[in-house]
Every structure is written in structure tokens, then in C-alpha cells.
Amino acid sequence: MSLPWWKKAVFYEIYVPSFCDGNNDGIGDIQGIISKLDYLRELGIDGIWLTPFYRSPKVDNGYDISDYFAVDRDYGTMADFERLIAEAHRRGIRVIADLVLNHTSTSHPWFQEARSAKDHPKRDWYIWKDPAGGAPPNNWESFFGGSAWEYDEKTGQYYYHAFSKNQADLNWTNPEVKKAMFAVIDFWQAKGVDGFRFDVINFLKTSGKFPNNPYDEKGEQIHRFDKDQEGILETVREICAECRRRPEPFLVGEVGSEDLQILKRYSGKGLLDAVFNFNLGSMEKFSVKRIFAELKRMEEAYTDEQTPTLFFSSHDMSRHISRFGRPPHEVETAKLIATLMLTARGIPFIYYGDEIGMRDLYLDDVKKMKDVQGIAAYEMAIASGKTEGEALKIANERGRDKSRSPMQWDGSEFAGFSDASPWLPLSDQSVHVEGQRKDPDSLFNHYRRLIRLRKAFPALHAGRYRVLRERDGVIFYIRSHQEEKILVVLNFNERSVSFPAGDFLSEGSEWLFPGERRRIRPDEPLKLAPFEGVIVKI
């Protein structure tokens, strides 16, 4: 039985404004991406996930769409987009588009019409409520902070926004909304996209009732009534069916939850192909026990029809090298995480720049901050009496600009990203593609070799776990597919270890990684340097 293409694929997330600037206005764009497709082929990835490129006022960097049928002027034209698809496909690279179905920008004409009058036919496309005694309808909080309700003077009602007040939530119980969004899906599929990454797909439905959300013991709101509501799976099913009118789209959902029991409901037959598992990405501290526990939990929770996802960084979180790496072992830890991501069971998503070890960006002035979440955190901190310095620190922690700095291509002034000063400052400029390409031991070449191995050996892209264990800071697993069995041993210790692999090795065993492929004797102990990963065909 042949596997769907995406089960074998390694994906690469491109944060569109930050990858490469083709027209030297300081903002990354589609022409820039086209110019780097050969680089992506050299890296060896199979698919790119493009963050939103549609027309948008960019209050939330494109997750606030004002025209679903147009490419934002900062990023290029529709002709550029069509060329990107053609050029990517010519190189065997598929493209999945990030689609925001939950909310639109408040400057979208739909919202403009909806807000124009209470009896406008589009009014019900969004979620409106009367004030409760002069206050918002309930206590629901926006994910960027503050109330999720915004008062509209003209019509005297509040509208609901799970994110910023410029991102109004659509009312998915209205069939017109569904119809309008299905037209969007059709449009981009006709342009040739190979699938979608659905933004906050579990938020689409509210229950129609609006009880207050409870709080946990730390005083943080539990989002019980504003996501994962009844009927959501039927809606997701319908969306997936619409997409599958064309052959084999890859449908991956961002389900905003860390609860695997919730996450797993969204994928499987008739549903999404996969959902993002935030448990790895949101891990603040480097902990072998926790990484192992998450791998194990995914394995236990998912059925055969469900495929886990593997990622440790994204545009919403800090880069794993900055989170996990401690000098002098930053690069080694980043390599180890890459080895895990590219050999464990699940679909890997590499975040642009992680393959060269780009570091988090720290902004020393709130004026340089672009992320709505960071700015909101700063303002709330100031309002609660914090000093400017404290507020800046909080804003850097909560803000997401840290992982969105421009890709570093070379050692020139603007890192080869642009000839103009970029929209967001560059991070530590000592790492760049040009330098790493030449160095056989670089993180970049480590990624390249692993991607090739993953593709060459079915056990690594299609195999189940035969063994999945952790002992004394070493995670090891055997993945097998038909006759092929591959052992992966990952040393999370700061010291060298000798791993007794005698029970697993045989006369025909072959060392695959790192270094040259060679025969290995069954009694040969595997020696692992600090933070080293080893791969052996057993």
C-alpha cells in the first residue's frame, strides 16, 4: 500500500515577511522565496508551509485577513504566487497555505458591512452581543490579553474576538460563512496549493451560549466555553471533505490545546490528517524526561490512522536552540533535537533558520517591537505599575518577535536578507547559511544528512516503534518497516556514554550516522559524545 505523500514528507515553515526580500523594501516576499527554492531543495525538504500572505493590514502579521482572494502588496502579486507554485512543483516541493477561517480582519468588507447596521444581512456573519449592564457580555479573555469583547459605538453591541480587537470572530453556525470560506478553499486549491495549515481550527464554533469561563488556581482563565465546543468536529469534517474534492491535499490543523485527549479528536478518517503537538514546542526547559514522556504519550494516544507532528519551534514560540541550549553545548543540543525530530515517528516541521541555529532576538526598545502580543504585554505591564525595564522584559518574554527575525543568508550588512534595513532587526549575525554550507560539521549539513537518511529508509519515515525507552538520560528507539529495523540512540547527557546495544545488533548491522556508513560488530558498544545521536541499521 503506498503512503500518501505527506506521510513521507519533511516540512519547512516559512514566515513570509522574514525569509528573503526580493524587492529590497526590507520585507520578505514571494519573489524572495522563489529565489531560495534551490536552497530548500539542497536542504532536502519536501513541503513548505507559508504563513498568511493574503491582503491584510497586518495587525497580527497577516493572521488578520482583509481579502482572502488577493496576495498582500508587500509580498507581491498573484502572478508571483502562481510562479512560486510552479517553481516549487518543478523542484518537487509542495506548498501548503496557512488559512485563517476563525476570524477576519475588522477591515474586511464583510465586517465593515456587518458593523454598519444591526439589521444588515451580514450582521450575523460575526458574533454580536448586547452589553451586560453596561459591561461586556461575559468574562471571556482574548488570547492576547484583556476582554475578548469590543464595544461598537454605532450599533451599541459588542463583537467577539478571541485574538486582537482587529480580528473579529466569524459565526460558523451561519451557513453563509461556511459557503464563503469554501469558495476561498476552492480558489487556492485551483491555484495549486497542496494543502492547508488551518489556524486555530478548534475555535471555529462557540456553543451559542455564553457562560463565564472558570479560572484555575493561578487565576488564569480556563477557556472552557470558547473553544472545542459541540459540533466543532462536524464543521471540521465538512471543511476537510470540501478540501478533499481534490486529490490528496495535506490538511494539518492548529488545535490550540496541549491536551492530547482533545488534540487527537481532530485527526483521523474524514478529519484532519494531522494536528500540531504543542507539547514539544511549548516546553520551556530542556528535560529529557519530559521529551520522552511526550513521545510516549503521543504513541499511546494516537491510533494507526493518526500521525503525530514533531516540531520544537515556530513563529509563535521561542527557537529551541535559545530555549534548550546552554553554552558551550548550544549547537550540540540543537543537533540532538534535529536528530530526534528527523528520526522519531511523526511529521517533522522545521522552522526556517533553525537549520542554521539562528538565535532568539531580544528587542531593547518597545518601539522596535512589531508583535501585537508583545506590545499588548508591554502595555498591560505598564498599566499594572511595572517600570519600563520590567515591562520590556515581560514583553520580550511574551512577545513573538523573538523567533521572527530575518533569515541570515550571509555575512553582509543585512545578512543577505535584503539590501535595505529589515522590518525587524537581525538576530546574532555570526550564524548564516553561507558559512555553514562550507562547514561539513555545521548544523545545516547535519540537517541535510538526516533529511536524506529519513527519506532513504522507510523505517524512518513509515516505521512504527518496536522499542521506545529512556534510561539514564538516553532516549532510544527502534523503528521498523517490513524487514528494515533502525535503532536510534540519543544521549541527552552532558557527558559521553557507552550504550550497550548488544541485544539489538546482529552480524549484518550497519552504522548509518554520524560519519561514514560502515559495518558494525554486534559486540561493539555504541560510544556517544555529549548530546550526540547515533543511528544504526540493526
Q: Which residues bind ligand NOJ (CB under 6 A)?
A: 60, 63, 100, 163, 199-200, 254, 315-316
Cα–Cα distance, 528 to 498 (Å, whole number): 6
Q: Is 300 a catalytic residue?
A: no
Q: In the complex, what is the shortest distance from the CB of residue 254 to ligand NOJ, in angstroms, rounded to a whole number? A: 6
Q: Which is nearer to ligand NOJ, 259 or 472 (CB)?
A: 259
Q: In the complex, what is the shortest distance from the CB of residue 351 to ligand NOJ, in angstroms, rounded to a whole number? A: 12
Set 199, 273, 355, 532: catalytic member: 199
Q: Which is nearer to ligand NOJ, 319 or 537 (CB)?
A: 319
Q: Is 87 a catalytic residue?
A: no
Q: Which is nearer to ligand NOJ, 200 or 535 (CB)?
A: 200
Set 13, 254, 355, 532: catalytic member: 254
Looking only at the bridges linking them, the beta strands covering 167-169 and 103-105 are antiparallel
Q: Is the dihedral of CA 105, 109, 112, 117 positive or negative?
A: negative
Q: Which is nearer to ligand NOJ, 277 or 436 (CB)?
A: 277
3 state DSSP class of 289? helix
* Helical pair 330-343 and 443-456, crossing angle rounded to 10 deg: 10
Cα–Cα distance, 536 to 538 (Å, whole number): 6
Cα–Cα distance, 345 to 275 (Å, whole number): 14
Cα–Cα distance, 538 to 534 (Å, whole number): 12
Give me the amino acid identity at 323. Answer: R
Q: In the complex, what is the shortest distance from the CB of residue 99 to ligand NOJ, in angstroms, rounded to a whole number? A: 11
Q: Is the dihedral of CA 257, 259, 262, 263 positive or negative?
A: positive
Q: Which is nearer to ligand NOJ, 403 or 436 (CB)?
A: 403
Q: In the complex, what is the shortest distance from the CB of residue 62 to ligand NOJ, in angstroms, rounded to a whole number? A: 9
Largest CA distance in the chain: 79
Q: In the complex, what is the shortest distance from the CB of residue 278 to ligand NOJ, in angstroms, rounded to a whole number? A: 11
The label of the residue with cell 531593547 reads 364
User: DSSP assignment, residue 418?
Assistant: -
User: Which spans in 302-427 are helix H?
Assistant: 320-324, 330-343, 372-383, 388-398
Catalytic residues: 199, 254
